[in-house]
A and B are shown apart, each in its own frame.
Chain A
Amino acid sequence: MRRRSGVLIPLEVSILRAGVELRERGQEEFHGFLIAKEIRDSTSARQLTAHGTLYKALDRMERAGFLESRWEDPSIAAEEGRPRRRLYRVTGLGERSVLAVEPTTALEFA
């Protein structure tokens, strides 16, 4: 099914909500797996969001200005013995948009 451009789908709304909630708990930035886990926990879903679905949504939302991302310092990842994380944060536009939308509705954006 082809989606309409300029519409936030429920997964994208969930990502923004989870990102805002993480910020309220003191975590300004999040990586892909963390947000998948937050969405699963907050919606009582049985499965984590699929790789392709999640990263396609993150990519689209960054292009639309709802998220910003940066790659973490390689030395931090090396110190912890894991791959580098791509860290996302919800932008002001993203936060305003998700606060204005009802939980079950899609959101129009420019």
Chain B
Amino acid sequence: VRHLDDVAGSLALLWARVYTSGLAPDLREQRRAEIASDVWEHRHEAHFAGLRPSQIGLEIVARWLLGIPADLSWRRVARRETAIFPGGEQAMDAKVRVNWWIVPALVLAALLLVTGVTSLDPGWIPPAPSIDPFAVVVVVLGVAVLLGIALRHRLPKLAGLLILSGAWFPLFTPAYDLIITVFGRGRAALGWPGSIVELIAAAAAILAAVGAIQNMARRPTRGRAQPV
């Protein structure tokens, strides 16, 4: 069985392979090697400090997700400066540009489903309902995000709405905090984020929402999206 920190490290390395694809070989290999080294050092250090694999995994996922906008921005500059690989790499570049948001959307769906499913049984005493209706809503939102990902090419507008329906949920607490801060007493009252999971969920929700809105502007296609 793979520990969560191992899975998280693999995801970060997979993402590094995606956003460096099509770049000049030196640049590509150096960035991938640097991320591999970072993830290894992070895991090694955290294990030594006695952190649980799940804690280490969440830290790595947070660092990966929160860095995605900077990765994409770095890639754009790197592509401009080393634009010597026309053809296939341009197609890869377009694929990354079109599909970059799917990974955060999958993370969002996974978090919604795990949160919802693990909260279904509220432990209420009969005659109270044996299933928490709030947890059912969270599961439905997770399924909606997955459905949105699946429909992103054929029905981009509906897909966008489905993903946005799930993305608002992790952003509700930070938005509430922001309103309290702006219109309240001038400081954050609730201390968001309460946990690293909330931070990851909010980052995934923002990235998924941005990607879904971007995708809504595309024309429906039967197969894979045609790069602009």
Q: Real complex partners, A and B?
A: yes
Which A residues form the contact surface with B (CB < 8 A)? 31-34, 36-37, 47-56, 59, 71, 82-86
Pair B67/A33 contact, Cβ less than 8 Å: no
Chain B: CB-nearest residue to A52 = B67
Q: Per a CB cutoff under 8 Å, which of A32, A59, A71 touches B38?
A: A32
**Of A48, A71, A82, A85, most B-chain CB atoms within 10 Å:** A48
How far apart are the CA atoms of A50 and B30 in the complex, in Å? 18
How far does the Cβ of A52 sit from chain B's closest Cβ, in whole Å? 3
Interface membership of B35, Cβ < 8 A = yes
Interface membership of B69, Cβ < 8 A = yes
On chain A, the residues within 8 Å of B30 by CB distance are: 86
Q: Per a CB cutoff under 8 Å, which of B71, B72, B199 touches A51?
A: B71
Pair B73/A55 contact, Cβ less than 8 Å: no
**Of A31, A49, A59, most B-chain CB atoms within 10 Å:** A59
The binding surface of chain B is classed by DSSP as helix
On chain A, the residues within 8 Å of B219 by CB distance are: none
Pair B63/A31 contact, Cβ less than 8 Å: no
Find residues 50-97 in chain B having any chain A CB closer than 8 Å to their own CB: 59, 62-74
Q: Per a CB cutoff under 8 Å, which of A54, A56, A82 touches B41?
A: A82
Find residues 16-73 in chain B having any chain A CB closer than 8 Å to their own CB: 16, 30-31, 33-38, 40-42, 44-45, 59, 62-73
On chain A, the residues within 8 Å of B64 by CB distance are: 50-51
How far does the Cβ of A43 sit from chain B's closest Cβ, in whole Å? 16
Pair A50/B66 contact, Cβ less than 8 Å: yes
Pair B37/A50 contact, Cβ less than 8 Å: no
Given A49-B63, A82-B44, verify A55-B37 contact (CB < 8 Å).
no
Interface membership of B205, Cβ < 8 A = no
On chain B, the residues within 8 Å of A32 by CB distance are: 34, 37-38, 41
How far does the Cβ of B55 sit from chain A's closest Cβ, in whole Å? 12
Pair B74/A33 contact, Cβ less than 8 Å: no
How far apart are the CA atoms of A63 and B108 in the complex, in Å? 36
